Amino acid sequence: MIILKDVNKDPKKLEDVHSIVASILEQVKIEGDQALIELTKQYDRVELSVLKVPRKAFQKAYELVSGETIKSLEFAAEQIKYFAEHQLACLQPLKRCEHIPGVTLGHRLVPIKTCGAYIPAGRYPLPSTALMSIIPAKVAGVDKIIACSPPSKEFGTIHPAVLVAMDIAGVDEAYCMGGAQAIGAFTYGTESVPKVDIIVGPGNKYVTEAKRLVSGSVGIDMLAGPSEVLIIADESVPAQFVAVDLLAKCEHDPNSIAIFVTTSRKLAEEVQKSIKEELKTLGTAELAARTWADNGKIIIVDSMDEAVKISDELAPEHLQIMTENDDEIAGQLCNFGSLFIGKTAPVAFGDYVSGTNHTLPTLSCARFTNGVWVGTFIKVSSVQKVSMEGASRLAGVCSHLAGVEGLLAHQRSAELRRGY
């Protein structure tokens, strides 16, 4: 059995990250804006005078981004919004149900008031993550959506492509900040940055550790690890498709995980050859080759049933199926962050334009949770109304159970309603 590697399990490294992040959070909590400015200079090598991005910076960003990029972002935004709206339509308030006369139950769908969207900036700007984080919150009805991203050294502020994406998505405010300090600002608030009710968006190990430490003081979407893909394929698919889709995951990050499961030794060998060929011309070959060598795996199984079993045990972030019986196999799978069915449905589409979200559970967490979606930003809050008749039916049982637990004021509270 192959276990997805958690790169943060080294105790010494965990201790180092924890102590650094805890110190940063405390500094932001005490010093506010000044800490954010100093930490941005220290870690991002950019000196800021203000943290909030002014409206004119958004307008200038459109001038710095190509028309094709703007149109592409608008296309992706429309598709993400379309899917989020249809997801929202599946959620319905429960206005009235009555099993016992006089006891009316229900629930309300209550949007979270404020959201902080963290948009990482590593080797490249990530405008797609701005769309994925902000649009579902907007569709859910969040009152105020604020976003942040680390500064680009080239521009001295958030990369213009990310600013344009934030604007297209409908952000209310944006702040130039990143790292654990940004998570601290969203959690505690500073002179400039308002604190929020929930923080969403992926980040590096310091951002993830910061989210772990502040969870409970603020809501978080999840604790994300390195990106993953598992591909199940047979000889009906070209080896090149599998090879390129594996490398697409490998170029993300040196800790990314790419696994290929197949019933065909022939296809496995062809994929290995195709990977070597693709690396000869791939612009990100150095990173992709190193990641594949360190974290790439090919598993040959005796049957598709075995492939399904392995996949469900690993519960990958991205699961891709390319076989002669895609729909049949898809119906047997349960554990995945996002499922891509068919040889014309690569993970890249989900990362950008198909409309589903790309902020997904990793490290086998898809066994018990899901990725960011419109429901991430909605509370399902229960409501009850009890008439005198209903109270008379509930009071006796409630009183008895409260007595069993030794909660005498609870018991008294119920008794007061008996026959009121």
In the annotated binding site for NAD(+), the residues are 118, 181, 204
Residue list for the binding site: 118, 181, 204
Whether 317 is catalytic is: yes
Q: Catalytic residue, from 154, 317, 405, 410: name it.
A: 317
List of residues 6+ apart from 156 with CB closer than 8 A: 46
105 neighbors 383 (Cβ within 8 angstroms): yes
DSSP line for 86-125: HHHHH---EEEE-SSTTEEEEEEEEE-SEEEEE---SSS-
Measured CA to CA in angstroms, residue 233 lies from 146, 157, 315, 343, 363 at distances of 41, 44, 17, 9, 22
Q: From residue 109, how far is each of 93, 95, 142 by CA, in Å?
A: 6, 10, 12
* Number of residues written out for the chain: 420
What's the CA gap between 268 and 233, in Å, rounded?
9
For residue 126, the SS3 value is: coil
Q: DSSP for 281-343, please give it.
A: T-TTHHHHHHHHHHHEEEEE-S-HHHHHHHHHHH--SEEEEESTTHHHHHHH----SEEEEST
Q: Which of 209, 251, 252, 318 is catalytic?
A: 318
Query: In this structure, what DSSP letter does residue 266 have?
Result: H
Write the CB contacts of 22 (distance below 8 Å, at least 6 apart in sequence). Answer: 213
Contact 373, 357 (CB under 8 A): yes
Query: Where in the sequence numbering do the catalytic residues fall?
Result: 317-318
